[in-house]
Structure formats: C-alpha cells, structure tokens
Structure 1
Amino acid sequence: MFASEFFVVLCLLSVGCLAQFKCPARTGFFPDPEQCDLYYVCSRGSYEEKLCPDGLVFDDTNPNKGKCDIPSNVDCGDRDVLQEAKPSKGCPRANGYYRHTDPEACDKFFNCVDGTPIEVSCPPGLIYDDVESTCSWPKESNRKDCGIIKRDSLEDGFSCPEEEALGPDGRLMPHPTYAHPDDCQKFYICRNGVRPQRGACPYGKVYSEDTFKCEDPKNVPGCEDYYAKDEKKPQGRSQ
C-alpha cells in the first residue's frame, strides 16, 4: 500500500505524468486537446511542443502543416484555453486584427504585428466586423454600433442614397449609378454606394434609369430629342 501511495504522490508532482501528449501518428503537426494556440510537432513518434505567436491559434485542418492563423479562420471547438495575452496600446494581443480604439472610427481597424498596431482603412461604405475580422457592409455585419456611414456630397448637392440599389437582374449593385436630374447625357456613380462622382455617356447616347446604362435616345423616354440639331441647349428629362 505504501509503495502505491508513494507512486501517486510522485505522479502528482510530475507534470509529464499528469498530462503527457501522445502522437496520433509518427509524423505530423497536432493540436493540444485543450489549448488552441498550443500544438505538437511529431517526428518518429516523439514530439516537440510549439506555441503560436500571441493572438494566433493553431489550424489543425492539415496534419502535414504547422500553421497558425487568426481565430476567425480557425474552429477551436472545445480548445478554449489560450496563452496569457501580451497586450500593448491598440493591440489586445500581440498579433491579429482588432477594432479601432476610436469608437467612431468604424471604417478603420488595427492590424497588430508583434505588438505594433498598423491602422488600416476599409473601402468606402464598409465597416470593420471584429467577429469575422474583415470589412463588410453595415447591414451584413455582426457589429451593431456602426450603422451610420458618412456620405460625401458633390458641389451640386447630390449624395448617394442610403437604400441599396438592385440591378436589372435583381442583384445588389456595388457601384450603383443614378440619372442626372437635368441632363440626359449625364449621370452619377456611387463608388461602394457612398462616394459620388460624375459620369457622362459618349456623344450620341443618353443614360437610362431602366437599364443603368447608356442607350440610344429613342429607347429612353423623355430623352428622345436630346441630340436634335435644332436644339441650341441640351434638353432635360421630361417629367
């Protein structure tokens, strides 16, 4: 009895006796069963313990590759333990993508590399989604504190509508176009739905609100006589 009790005490004092990793195969890269940023490199049946850089976790989808990636790209499952964070200003962890420290800067985020934050801007109209670690449209984002996007305006007062624009095929238009209110040849382009700029059809064509393209004037109601020779000034759209 004494010998067995002594063995138990010895095991409790030995970390290797408590939780010793066993290689599932003689060679490969394998995850720790509890800690998502810890993995093992197995070679000929023996293993070496490895730790991902702080902020990254081990991707166990391919046992032939030892790959660490951002958490949004890896399904850790029950492996919910992580190493102690090494935070710095702007970086909750040393590596990864994180929302901007300015709560109003929804269209910006930090790319942290070894504890150094690098400010990155999303394309116009998009906001940073810190669940998916990517830029997305406000309506499609998991982030609900950034619904209002600043919209630019041109000198003539035109600004891009807030409503999403659908094309003739019913699909969302990433850069929708809109007719000029007074000139059949001109139109507006909304880059990413929020940044307006002027556009114009080539001579002989007019903009169609039905097809969102430049068409022959005879096919656009209200603009049939736009290029009539007896007109001294461009004809506006008929109401």
Structure 2
Amino acid sequence: VSLYKYNKVEKCLESYSEYNILLDGDETSYYLWKAVKCQEIVAAGSPIPAMKAVKNKAEIEGYRSAMLKDGVAMVKFLKWLEPAVEAGGQTEISIDEKLTSLRAEQKLFRDISFDTIAGYAQHGAIVHYEATPETDVVLKPEGLILIDSGAQYQDGTTDITRTIALGAVSEEMKHIYTLVLKAHIQLELVKFPDGASGTQLDAVGRECMWREGYNFLHG
C-alpha cells in the first residue's frame, strides 16, 4: 500500500496502468473518472462500506461500554440542567461546556465526536446550528432546547439527540412533540421486506406528520 497526498490523486490515476480499477459512480466525480487511463474501469459500488458495517465482538463490546459511560454523563447533565437554567445565567455555550466536562469525567474519554448542537427556541430549528459568541443566547425556564452531541471514547463513539422542555411549553409544542414520538413508534413497529430502502422507511416515519400538514428537513 502506497500513501500519497490527496492533491496527487489525479496524477496517480493518470499514471496507473497495471490492472483494471473499480470506481463507484455514486461517489466518484466526473473529473476523476475521466482521469483514469487504465484499460478497464469496473463500475460498481465499493465493497468497503458493507465490510465496515459488520462489527466484530471487540467493536460491539466497545460500543456498549462507550454508550454506558456516555449515558452516565447524560443523566448527570439532565439532572443538572433544569435547576441550573432556573437559577439563571446559563447559555447555549455554557451548557455545551458543562456537558463536555461531564463526559470528560468518564474513563477513556478522548474528545467530543462533533461540535455540539445546542439550539434554544428558534435556534433548535436550524439544521446543524452551532452557537457562537455572536449567536449565543441566555436560556430561560420556558420553551424547548435541542441538544445534539456525542463523544469519542477509546472504545467507541456516541451520538445522542434530545429535545428538552426547560419549563412551560405551548399546546402547539406538545402536539408536534407528540407527533414526533408517534413517528418513532411507527418506525419501531413497521415490518418491511428485505431490500426496502431508507427512503421508503423515511416516508413511514413522516406519514403521521404529513397527515397534519407538517414536514421537516434532515441534516
């Protein structure tokens, strides 16, 4: 196996002539496809993602261990959150920092797995929102906050999203929250044949919301 800098990929493809080469049309740009000069291009999906999707015993045990540690941190955070907001002074950024500090207390913690999304009120509707000093807002003991976060542990990676009521919520919020819950239950119970696509299952989850005129974007 030879390693090259990414910006050398075009020249490497142009000079490669030993064997045929497999290219995934869904993942390969037209520019790189045209750069290939070997005798035969095998147009097929890469076998690597499917191989990576099958986890061995050590990976499975690692994931369970990571989820357990992360669950401890999340429970501590959820217990802390509401009283802290009621006491005042908490912002999107400050609760992000608190959650990270609780995760850092766990064994084998390395870092967060992605930038935390802590979106209060209207910010919760922004896909992949990230609070900055310019957009950061103070949390009040009312309304909803969306928190999408995760951690890298040496034995596994986590990603968890929760929408949390910080106090009083409107009837509309309750109604939409219930529709989302129904969507999750609907997906949990659906029976589908081998070969069903993610798009088909996505429609099953959205159906109860579509019926009432709601829809949502996906990150």
Q: TM-score range by the shorter chain?
A: under 0.3
Normalised by the length of structure 1, the TM-score is 0.19
Q: Which has the larger radius of gyration?
A: 1
Relative contact order higher in (CA < 8 Å, ≥ 6 apart): 2
Normalised by the length of structure 2, the TM-score is 0.20
Report the structure, 1 or 2, having the larger helix content.
2
Report the structure, 1 or 2, having the larger strand content.
1
